[in-house]
Amino acid sequence: MKSQFLAIALVVAFFLPMLSGAQSVTLETVLETTLKKNPAIQQARSNLEQAAGRRLVLRSIIWPNVKAEAPAGIQGGDRAGQSSTTVFGYARGSFTQLLFNVAIPPSLRRGDVNLLIAQQELNVAVVEQLHAARLAFYAALYNRDLQSIREKERERLDENVASEKDRYEAGLTDRSALTSATVQARQLDSQIENAQRAYAEARIKLAEAMGRDLGPGGTLPEPEGDLQFRTLTADLNSETASALLRRADLKLARLLVRAANDEQRIIEAGYYPTITGSVTGDYIPVFGIHREGSTSQTQDFLSSEILEGAGYTWQVIDNGKVGGAKMKKRKAREINEVACQKLEANVGRELLRIRNDLESIEAGRRSLAAAADAADQNVLAIKQNLAGGLSSELEYRLAESSFLKTKSGLLNAAYLHNVALAEWDRATGRYFQFSEDTAQNVH
């Protein structure tokens, strides 16, 4: 038991500074800060820069290779007509150019696709992190308001318990009524604690998404605003077609198929010969310089020289090396194609499910709104009767409790509605409506 109290004390000591220094944030501020400071987005942006370097490496296959050397030294030894020790120095250069290689076109495409893949991975990270931040913002608003409603409801039930206690002591009711009122009031304690805990967890997730410091002295954001209803009017067919064009995860899946296809082409280039042209030259300022490995003067450097030529290599028998690698890469491409097709086929079903959820939530909200209006009218009527002595305090508190329950139902419907709208924006690829304006400030 002592260890549990110690753990609770440590948690309170850790999070109390954060709670005391909370800052109010709107949804727009959350999305903008997430786009700029979220660690996952920053990592994806760094990967994009790395892909640009990888693209240069893959494109280097088309450029010539130029080398320059300047050997110098002292060579010794006696040979007819030569002194025993000679100082030498000369310049040597070489130029090689790949003339024919079947791997060149797919290598160039692969470099471009690498860059596009990194860009779409950045877009996917942006969508995922903005979506997570948005859901955390809605969860914080919901649990904050739910906690407030539950506390008001508990206040009414505590007043009911006090009233039942007075009635019991006056002999106007039995003990079971007092017990029932007490149990009903105490049931809300755990619900309020759950709402408090969920609110704190949502704020921590929100801080993580925004890249906030969660260490000592860090602050947790406090969401500002309320959950609102926004009627969605959209054509399912047109939205599905648009989602297939703009969703980042679908673009990424298609690019992975292209990348696997280009990698297969690069592997298959091993079936064909490679032709390379070369030009080498030596500039010798003096005569009588011995060539390495020469045994007579006729084999030495006689003067400056330039040699041109071309050569090719062709591995006719590879013992399955190229064929096996090609089969392996082809299977990877086919797997990527199937995964891409599944994602594309699931778009319409996902949008249909979300739209049905929105319609169901809207119908439930209308029913709850009518019940809330009726409960509100009932509270006003009982309040008037209470002033005229026609109703009791107990009836008034029970009517208020009923009204608060309908308000909690409306709050739950509003939360589910906003979450469904966030899912709709994610499924249709609309999250870049939030990020396009601020993306220019990030790069």
Q: Would you say residue 442 lies in a domain?
A: no
Q: Is 293 left (phi over 0), alpha (psi -120 to 50) or beta?
A: left
> Is pLDDT above 90 for 349?
yes
CA distance 123 to 110: 20
My answer on whether 34 and 183 are in the same domain is: yes
Mean pLDDT of 149-158: 80
My answer on whether 286 and 222 are in the same domain is: no
My answer on whether 378 and 393 are in the same domain is: yes
My answer on whether 325 and 381 are in the same domain is: yes
Least confident of 89-103, 139-153, 331-345: 89-103
- The pLDDT value given to residue 435: 40
- The pLDDT value given to residue 171: 74
| pLDDT category of residue 353 using cuts at 50, 70 and 90 | very high
> Is pLDDT above 60 for 253?
yes
Long-range contacts of 46-49 (CB under 8 A, 24+ apart): 47/118, 47/121, 47/122, 48/115, 48/118, 48/119, 48/121, 48/122
Most confident of 263-272, 380-389, 407-416: 407-416
Domain carrying residue 295: 64-76+84-100+274-313
My answer on whether 43 and 109 are in the same domain is: yes
- pTM for this one? 0.74
Strand partners, 313: 274
| pLDDT category of residue 380 using cuts at 50, 70 and 90 | confident
- The pLDDT value given to residue 416: 93
My answer on whether 284 and 375 are in the same domain is: no
| pLDDT category of residue 296 using cuts at 50, 70 and 90 | low
My answer on whether 184 and 257 are in the same domain is: yes
Domain with residue 416: its CATH number is: 1.20.1600.10
My answer on whether 163 and 293 are in the same domain is: no
CA distance 128 to 122: 10
Least confident of 144-158, 169-183, 298-312, 369-383: 298-312
Q: Would you say residue 235 lies in a domain?
A: yes
Please count the structural domains in the chain.
2
My answer on whether 303 and 321 are in the same domain is: no
Q: Would you say residue 4 lies in a domain?
A: no
Q: Would you say residue 129 lies in a domain?
A: yes
Mean pLDDT of 381-394: 65
Mean pLDDT of 166-173: 72
Residue 137's closest CA among 299, 26, 33? 26
Q: Would you say residue 10 lies in a domain?
A: no
More confident residue, 346 or 432: 346
**Could you give the percent of the chain with pLDDT greater than 90?**
20
- The pLDDT value given to residue 426: 92
pLDDT, tens only, 195-233 = 899 999 999 999 999 888 777 777 888 998 888 888 888
**Could you give the percent of the chain with pLDDT greater than 70?**
80
- The pLDDT value given to residue 351: 93
| pLDDT category of residue 9 using cuts at 50, 70 and 90 | very low
